[in-house]
Amino acid sequence: MLIVPRLSVLENMALADTRKYARHAGLTVDWSAARGDLEQSTRRLAQEMLPLAVPAGALSGGNVQRLSLIRELSTDPRLIIALYPTRGLDMRSATAARDLLLAKRDRGAGVLLISEDLGELFLLSDRLFVLYRGRIVGAARPEETTAQEIGRLMTGGGVAGG
Amino acid sequence: MASADARRFRPDSVRAALRVTGLFGLAFALFAVVLLAAGKDPIRAYGDILSSTLFSSYGFSEVVVKMIPLMLTALAVAIPARIWLINIGAEGQLFMGALFTTWGAAHFAALPAWALLPLVAALGFLGGGLWAAISGVMRAHGWVSETISTLLMNYVAIFIVSFFVFGPWKDLESANYPQTPEFPAAARLPMFFGTRVHLGLLIALVALTVYHLVLTRTRWGLEIRAIGGNIEAARRSGIAIGRYILVLMFVGGGLAGLAGMGEVSAIQGRLRPSLSPGFGYTGFLISWIAGGNTYGVVASALLMAVITAGGDVLQMAHRLPGSVVNILMALMLFVVLTRRRIP
C-alpha cells in the first residue's frame, strides 16, 4: 500500500513507471498516457474510476488498496509479490483482483501470494507453502491437501514439540 | 468542527499565507515590546524602517540588492529540503562560490566580458555545488548527517577564504587591509539604473522560475515530490534516491555559490572575508518561512531584506545597535517553527 499521500491519484499512477511516462528527456510528463493506463487498468479490475486530481491521502482505505492494485497491475511485471491483496476490498473488487492475478500468471508472471485467507489461497495457488516460526513446515498442491491439514501446519502441528 | 472543515477546503497556499501573516504579526508585536523596553516608540521605528526602505527609490533599490543573494541562498536551502535534506551550509557554499569566482577572475583576466562572466558564474556555481556535494556524498552513503556537516563546513569555508585573502591572494597595494586585488572590468557583473541592482537579479529570478517549473512539470519534479512525500514508496517505484541527494545538494550549493559570485563580482569587486552579513543563514530562515513555495521565497526575501536594511535605520535614527534586528529575525524563526510541517 505504498502511495504518496500528498500526490494526486494520477501522479501516484505515473509513479508506477516514471521513465515510461517521461517525454522530452524528462522535461515533461505525459499525463494523458498515465491517465489512459489508469483507465484501462481500472476497467480490467472492474472498478469505478477514482477521482484523478484528489490527493491519494484523502482516499478511503479501500480506495487506497484499489489504487495500489490498479497501479501495480497496469504494468506487466515478471514477479508479483501480493501481500493480502484483497484485504479491505468488497466482494466484486476482490474477485476482479483475483482474476487479474490469475491472468498475469497465465501471461508468464510469477506470483507469490502471501495470505492467511485459506479460501483465497486454495482458490488461487498452484502450490502452497506453510511458514511457521520463519521456517517452511509444509508444501503441497491445493488439490492434494485440505484446509484442516494446512491449518494444523500453520499452528505448529507439524513441528515436533510445537 | 465547521471552521476546521471550512479551512480544509481553502486552497493550501492561501491558508499557508494567512497563517504566516498571522504569525509574523505576532513576531512584530513581540519585537515592539523589545523596542518599548529599550525606550523607543515601536510605531515610529516601524514607520521609519518602511519609509526608508520601501518608500524611497534608493532605499528600495538597496532592498533589491539584498534580495538577490537572499533568494539564491533560500533556494539553496529549499531545493534539498524538497527531499527532507536540511542544508544549513548556504553561508559556506556562498563563500566557496566567491572563492572560485575570484580564482577565475584572476586567472582568466585577459578574456573579454562575454566569455569571462559566464566562466566565473560557472565557477561560482561549481564552487558552491562541490562544497555542498561533499555533504551530499556523506549523507547518501549514510556516513554523516547533512545537517551537521553543512553547518560545520560553513566555518571551514570561511577560514579557507580568510587563508587566501590574508595569504597568497592578498592585495599588496592595499596596505594591511585583507582583500584581494580588484577584479578586471570584464569580470564585473553589470549594474542597472544607476543603482547597485545587478545582473544577479535576473539570475535569481531565472533560478526561481526553473525551480518552480522543474518541480511542477517534469519527471524529476514528480520523483522529487514522491521522495519528499513518502520515501519508501519512492524507493519501491525504483527512484534512485542517493542520486537525488547528491544532485539536489549540488544544485542547491551551486545557487548559493552564485550568490557569492554576485557579491564579489558586482557588489564588492574583490574578495574580502566580510563578504556576507549572514546571507546563508537568513536564506535558511526565508526557505522555512516560505515552506519552499516559489512566491513565498520572493515575498519572504523581500521581508528579510527590509528587516536587514531596517537594522541600519534603527542604528542611525534610533541609536539602537544595528544587530537588534537579529532579535526580530529570531522571533520570526520561533513563530515559524510552530508550523507542524517541515518545508
> Which tens digit of pLDDT belongs to each residue from B206-257?
999 999 999 999 999 999 999 999 999 999 888 999 999 999 999 999 999 9
Q: According to the model, what pLDDT value does residue B5 have?
A: 38
Q: Does A7 touch chain B (CB under 8 A)?
A: yes
How far apart are the C-alpha atoms of B282 and B197, rounded to whole Å?
Answer: 19
Q: According to the model, what pLDDT value does residue B12 have?
A: 67
Q: Does A20 touch chain B (CB under 8 A)?
A: no
Q: Does A109 touch chain B (CB under 8 A)?
A: no
The answer to whether position B90 is within a domain reads: yes
Mean pLDDT of chain B: 90
- Of residues A2, A6, A26, nearest to B218 (C-beta): A26
For chain B, the three-class secondary structure string (H helix, E strand, C coil) is CHHHHHHHHCCHHHHHHHHHHHHHHHHHHHHHHHHHHCCCCHHHHHHHHHHHHCCCHHHHHHHHHHHHHHHHHHHHHHHHHCCCCCCCCHHHHHHHHHHHHHHHHHHCCCCCHHHHHHHHHHHHHHHHHHHHHHHHHHHHCCCCCHHHHHHHHHHHHHHHHHHHHHCCCCCCCCCCCCCCCCCCHHHCCCECCCCCCECHHHHHHHHHHHHHHHHHHCHHHHHHHHHHHCHHHHHHCCCCHHHHHHHHHHHHHHHHHHHHHHHHHHHHCCCCCCCCCCHHHHHHHHHHHHCCCHHHHHHHHHHHHHHHHHHHHHHHHHCCCHHHHHHHHHHHHHHHCCCCCCC
> In the numeric block, which cell numbers belong to residue B64?
533589491
How far apart are the C-alpha atoms of B103 and B169, rounded to whole Å?
Answer: 9
Average pLDDT rounded to a whole number, residues B110-129: 96
The answer to whether position A107 is within a domain reads: yes
Are A11 and B222 a contacting pair at CB < 8 A? yes
The total number of structural domains that make up chain B? 1
Q: Is the pLDDT of residue A1 over 70?
A: no
Q: According to the model, what pLDDT value does residue B200 have?
A: 95
> A74: domain range?
9-126
> In the numeric block, which cell numbers belong to residue B32?
515592539
Grade residue B146 by pLDDT with cuts at 50, 70 and 90: very high
The answer to whether position A131 is within a domain reads: no
The answer to whether position B211 is within a domain reads: yes
Q: According to the model, what pLDDT value does residue B100 have?
A: 98
Q: Which residue of B has its CA nearest to A12?
A: B226
Taken in order A114, A115, A118, A120, is the CA torsion positive or negative? negative
The answer to whether position A138 is within a domain reads: no
Q: According to the model, what pLDDT value does residue B6 have?
A: 39
The answer to whether position B104 is within a domain reads: yes
Instruction: Give yes or no for a contact between B271 and B161, defined as CB atoms under 8 angstroms apart.
Output: yes
> Which tens digit of pLDDT belongs to each residue from B275-312?
998 999 999 999 988 888 999 999 999 999 999 888 88
Are A4 and B233 a contacting pair at CB < 8 A? yes
Q: According to the model, what pLDDT value does residue B340 have?
A: 55
Q: According to the model, what pLDDT value does residue B251 have?
A: 98
Q: How far apart are the first and last CA of chain B?
A: 26
The answer to whether position B154 is within a domain reads: yes
The total number of structural domains that make up chain A? 1
Grade residue B38 by pLDDT with cuts at 50, 70 and 90: confident
Average pLDDT rounded to a whole number, residues A91-110: 86
Are B219 and A22 a contacting pair at CB < 8 A? yes
Taken in order B141, B144, B146, B150, is the CA torsion positive or negative? negative
The answer to whether position A146 is within a domain reads: no
Average pLDDT rounded to a whole number, residues B105-114: 93
Q: Is the pLDDT of residue B2 over 50?
A: no
Grade residue B1 by pLDDT with cuts at 50, 70 and 90: very low
The C-alpha of A57 sits at a distance from chain B's nearest C-alpha, in angstroms, of 10
- Per cent of chain B over pLDDT 90 is 69
Which residues neighbour B10 within 8 Å (Cβ) at sequence distance 6 or greater?
Answer: none
What CATH number is given to the structural domain containing A69?
A: 3.40.50.300
Q: According to the model, what pLDDT value does residue B91 have?
A: 97
* Residue of B220, B230, B235 to mutate, interface with A, max A Cβ within 10 Å: B230
Instruction: Give yes or no for a contact between B259 and B268, defined as CB atoms under 8 angstroms apart.
Output: no
Are B234 and A29 a contacting pair at CB < 8 A? no
The answer to whether position A17 is within a domain reads: yes
> B169: domain range?
66-302
Look at B2-11, B131-140, B264-273, B299-308 and tell me which has the smallest mean pLDDT.
B2-11
How far apart are the C-alpha atoms of B228 and B78, rounded to whole Å?
Answer: 12
The answer to whether position B195 is within a domain reads: yes
Q: According to the model, what pLDDT value does residue A162 have?
A: 44
The answer to whether position B312 is within a domain reads: no
The answer to whether position A153 is within a domain reads: no
> Which tens digit of pLDDT belongs to each residue from A50-95?
899 999 999 988 888 888 888 887 887 889 888 888 887 788 778 8
Average pLDDT rounded to a whole number, residues B193-214: 95
Q: Is the pLDDT of residue A27 over 80?
A: yes
Phi, psi torsion values for B38, nearest 5 degrees: -85, 5
How far apart are the C-alpha atoms of A17 and A34, rounded to whole Å?
Answer: 9
Query: What is the amino acid identity at position A85?
Result: P
Q: According to the model, what pLDDT value does residue B8 have?
A: 43
Q: Is the pLDDT of residue A46 over 80?
A: no
Average pLDDT rounded to a whole number, residues B81-95: 96
Mean pLDDT of chain A: 87
- Of residues B218, B230, B238, nearest to A4 (C-beta): B230
A3 to chain B: which residues are within 8 Å by CB? 230, 233
B237 to chain A: which residues are within 8 Å by CB? 2, 15-16, 18
The answer to whether position A147 is within a domain reads: no
> In the numeric block, which cell numbers belong to residue A112?
507469490
Higher pLDDT, B141 or B177: B141
Are A4 and B220 a contacting pair at CB < 8 A? no
Are A5 and B232 a contacting pair at CB < 8 A? no
What ipTM score was computed for the predicted complex, to two decimals? 0.79
